[in-house]
Amino acid sequence: MSIYDYTVKNRKNEDISLANYKDKVLLIVNTATGCGFTPQYEGLEKLYKTYHDKGF
């Protein structure tokens, strides 16, 4: 079994197959979507902005 065999829920509670992201860079973060205590978002946003133009 690989990561691409899994299905996850998006914010709209829709099933998304991780196979859709094969051959792409993935960063998987487990967050509480509705939680206001999310200090990690700042670092994740910085990471995204830094590497977005490189395919992240």
Taking only the tens place, the pLDDT of each residue in 9-55 is 888 999 999 999 999 888 887 776 666 666 777 888 898 899 989 87
Residue from 21, 33, 27 nearest 47 by CA: 27
Q: Active site includes 48?
A: no
Task: Write out the two tokens for 20.
Answer: 């859709």
Annotated catalytic residue, options 13, 32, 35, 43: 35
Band (pLDDT 50/70/90 cuts) for residue 5 is: very high
DSSP assigned state of 24: S
Instruction: Report the C-alpha gap between 56 and 47 in whole angstroms.
Output: 9
DSSP E strand boundaries for 1-56 = 7-9, 15-17
- pTM of the entire predicted model: 0.61
